[in-house]
Structure 1
Amino acid sequence: MQWTVPRPFVPRPFLDRLRLRRAALRFAAHGWAVTPGARLIGRRFACGQPACPIMTCHPALASWEDTASTDPARVQAWWRHEPHSVLLVTGRRLDAIEVPAALGLRVLGTVRLNRRADACGPVAVTAAGRWMFLVAPGAPLRPELENRLDVVRHGSGSWIPAAPSRMPDGPVRWAVSPDQAQWRLPGSETVQQLMTDALGTVREPQLTVPRQLSTARRGG
């Protein structure tokens, strides 16, 4: 008769917190500033601030722009007790260009098909269909992209949620992880050129302003 040793029960929030903390520490170790986000409870996010009206993903700290950090001790403290979402602060070491799935798939396919090492960088994807291309900071959006409601540049004063943070529709994941990209960030102009070239080749969906991510604002 074979005996099995029962595995100890580990609460999911505890495991989530460990995964989120591990991810935040890795980002910080590579110089990408992080800040804790509100944690998902049911279908809304709770930041712990009394009477906070924001139900979507948002920073847990009111002073997040001033306190965002790469310091491991501070990051450890933020995730010591709560499974906060992991938010990457943009406009410092990186920017992010957020696009709809159809455009994101086309651009990533072009990068892989043509072996465009100069355009290969981390790409985060949400279950709601938003793709976020991480790029070197500073460059504004090209006019062809700036005029679209479904394209958002996250620069100074903005942030994006990073894997493995949970959103109402499912966790954020990497289409191209930082490890796969060797933690390199392509030039924003290069990635934007590929996006502009792809605009005429994707089926145009009904345009909507993204609401489920970060500040839904164009970083300056």
Structure 2
Amino acid sequence: MQWTANHPFVPWERSRLRRHALRYAAHGWAVTPGAWLTGHRFACGRPGCPIMMCHPALESWEDNATTDTGLVHRWWRHRPHSVLLATGRRFDVLEVPASLGLQVFGMARLHRAAGPVAVTAAGRWMFLVRPGAPLRDELEHRLDVVRHGRGSWIPAAPSRMLEGPVRWAVPPERTQWTLPAPEIVQDLLVAAIGAVREPRITVPRQLSTSRRAG
């Protein structure tokens, strides 16, 4: 079943989310609880929170993101929190639209350079890579390419967004939780942009990717 706004959570879904959160934490990926979908907006349990889209449930989420499985277990004890992974620690994420994601995915498999890859139901592809490398000049000003590093997060499977659940195109187990070099994936992304011949999209400097997670 596709979990959408029209298909409410059932009790066992909370346990499923907790099980996945525990698995990520056990492998050293810092986890933080996210707001959960209720109707057509996300609820985080904080009184008066105006944010309607997916967001961290904790106000100081970056300080509290953890690999402590005991704490993770408690967070998901009563509520079906989305599973959010803090980026910029064990990995960065390159998030791109489907038109580029499919191209990069195919080239990465051909070059045996595929790491874990997550996909949202809205068509955003998220490539997990080793942390620290900034975007190349060819990518830095594109509105449709986002690098998630320190201060950001991504939703992880099986979290449910408005359009449906997040899924793994390449589960981390398939790569034995190893990550490709960011330079390799960025090279493939630049090549994919040339292949699909999309118009260059610019984004003002003040739009910080780190603030997207705030």
TM-score by length of 1: 0.86
1:130-149, aligned counterparts within 5 Å? 130-149=124-143
Aligned equivalents of 2:159, 2:150: Cα separation in 1? 21
Amino acid at match of 2:165: P
Provide, for residues 162-181 of structure 1, a one-character-per-residue CA deviation record: whole Å limited to 9, x for no partner.
00000000000111111112
Provide, for residues 136-155 of structure 1, a one-character-per-residue CA deviation record: whole Å limited to 9, x for no partner.
10000001111100000000
Residue 99 of structure 1: SS of its match in structure 2? strand
Aligned equivalents of 2:22, 2:97: Cα separation in 1? 29
Q: For the aligned residues, what is the CA RMSD?
A: 2.0
Q: Say which of 173, 192, 195 aligns to 2:189.
A: 195
Cα distance, 1:18 vs. partner? Answer: 0.9
1:54-203, aligned counterparts within 5 Å? 54-112=51-109, 114=110, 116-117=111-112, 119-202=113-196
Q: What is the count of residue pairs matched by the alignment? A: 201
TM-score by length of 2: 0.89
Say which is worse superposed, 157-166 or 194-203, in terms of deviation.
194-203
Amino acid at match of 2:171: S
Instruction: Specify every segment of 5 or more residues in structure 2 that has no aligned partner in the other structure, as ranges.
Output: 1-7
Q: Say which of 30, 34, 37 aligns to 1:37.
A: 34
Seq. identity, %: 69
Q: Say which of 22, 26, 44 aligns to 1:47.
A: 44
Aligned equivalents of 2:70, 2:179: Cα separation in 1? 26
Instruction: Specify every segment of 5 or more residues in structure 1 that has no aligned partner in the other structure, as ranges.
Output: 1-10, 210-215
Contact conserved, 1:13 with 1:83, CA < 8 A, in 2?
no
Aligned equivalents of 1:207, 1:174: Cα separation in 2? 27
Aligned equivalents of 1:89, 1:105: Cα separation in 2? 24
